[in-house]
Amino acid sequence: MAARCSRHSASRLRLPLANPWVVDAALMLLVQAAETIPFVVPRAPSLPPATWASYGLTTLGVLPLLWRRRAPVTVLAAVLAAQVLYRFTLDGPGQPLPYNALVALYTVAELTPARWRIPVGAGTLVLIFPSVALNSGEARELLFSLFLFGAAYGFGRLTHTRKAYTAALEDRATQLERANRIEAEQAAAAERARIAREMHDILSHAVSLMVVQAEAGPVAVRTAPERAEAAFEVISETGRDAMTQLRRMLGVLRQDTGAPEPASRRPMPALADLPLLVEQVASGGLAVDYVTVGPPRSLPPATEATVYRIVQESLTNVVRHASAESATVRVELGAETVEVTVTDNGRGAPVGSGGRPDRSTGHGLIGLRERAAALGGTAETGPGPDGTGFRVRVRFPLADVFTEVDG
């Protein structure tokens, strides 16, 4: 608590100092203190007397520094005018270094645009020559004055460059942070979409098979008890498989980044799992033919999982919506592409208000297109080859090199 209070107090102390008016007022008082020194130290009788009038005119030459940020050129002109007036009217004691003029020229170099900065800076340096001539006329004073005012101008430009560089770095950091935030949001959205597709495929397939088997169960109990027993086994097996896959997905969501991977986690579905998937769907009464074209190949895991999910979602749609008697699953492994086609002899695509197939119903077909697009492919849906039924055709390239499987 004490540390928090101390940090809070320190921040409260820093806030007033960050105010430009406070900074300029402190700088003005510092210059005024320097200009006051010749008026308070003992002076030789031969030197000009220290009067209140001369001190007041000196103060008038320092006060404009309070507005140095708002009107740099005007403040410099006022400071130089006050020094000229002081030299030709009172000529009292003064500092050997013109602090107020140096601060004003520094401010002009830092804050003023080039169209004003360059002529004002050059004019100030030119004024040094008559000023030195009226004072001592020595070359040493001339060189020292030129160096001093030139350094003030140079430091002003260095400060301007440093601030511009710092602002550019801050702007770049802000843009990078914004880009990272957008990228993270896009990645989160893509991950949510992927999880939604996985959940939809798992639940939709499992529930559809369970509903089909449950509806056929009572009839089978009366006519063929052995088929009823098989139907209930399919329901049980499908439910357990769906629960296993859901637990795997929830485990991925809940698992910490550094946590070890559970040994019981099932691998992603692959091409080798397609015959079992077809068998499960066929157990509900739908005749399914599974055809593969091309030599057996080992594809990247993501590609095999995508092929499996496409077939799974297509067959689920057949079971739920097509009222079909048969379906054909064809997986063609080409040299550079993979093509998956699922065709049924059902009632075809739902018809929209315009008499054309309605492509907007449900999320399954949207998920198919998203899966194909994720691998750089395309998905086509529509009537079957002879104009009846429904066909899903997905094709995508093979970005990775696959290897042939022996046997």
pLDDT, one tens digit per residue, over 327-360 is 999 999 888 889 999 999 888 765 544 445 444 4
Amino acid 15: pLDDT: 47
With a cut of 60, say whether residue 85 has pLDDT above it: yes
Amino acid 351: pLDDT: 52
Distances (CA, A) of 42 to 11, 39, 91, 102: 43, 8, 17, 26
pLDDT, one tens digit per residue, over 175-221 is 988 988 888 888 888 777 777 777 766 666 667 667 766 666 676 66
pLDDT, one tens digit per residue, over 282-308 is 877 788 899 998 888 788 887 888 888
How far apart, in whole angstroms, are the C-alpha atoms of residue 263 and residue 26? 69
- What's the distance, Cα to Cα, between the start and end of the chain in Å? 73
Average pLDDT over every residue of 240-261: 60
113 neighbors 160 (Cβ within 8 angstroms): no
Domain 271-350+358-407 part of CATH 3.30.420.40: no
Strands (E), 294-345: 297-298, 326-333, 337-344
Average pLDDT value over all residues in the chain: 78
- Residue 121's pLDDT band (cuts 50, 70, 90): confident
Amino acid 24: pLDDT: 87
Q: What percent of the chain has pLDDT over 70?
A: 72
Domain range list for the chain = 16-177, 271-350+358-407
With a cut of 50, say whether residue 3 has pLDDT above it: no
Q: How far is CA 233 from the centre of its chain?
A: 50
368 neighbors 392 (Cβ within 8 angstroms): yes
Q: Tokens standing for 285? A: 């009464």
How is residue 151 annotated by DSSP? H
Amino acid 162: pLDDT: 93
Q: How far is CA 350 from the centre of its chain?
A: 41
Greater confidence (370 vs 237) lies with 370
pLDDT, one tens digit per residue, over 56-83 is 888 888 999 999 999 999 999 999 888 8
Amino acid 161: pLDDT: 92
With a cut of 50, say whether residue 251 has pLDDT above it: yes
Residues 6+ apart with CB under 8 A from 365: 317, 359, 379, 381, 392
Nearest to 273 by CA among 247, 308, 238: 308
Nearest to 78 by CA among 91, 59, 97: 59
Q: How far is CA 92 from the centre of its chain?
A: 64
How many Cβ atoms are within 10 Å of 52's Cβ, its own excluded? Answer: 9
Average pLDDT over every residue of 86-104: 80
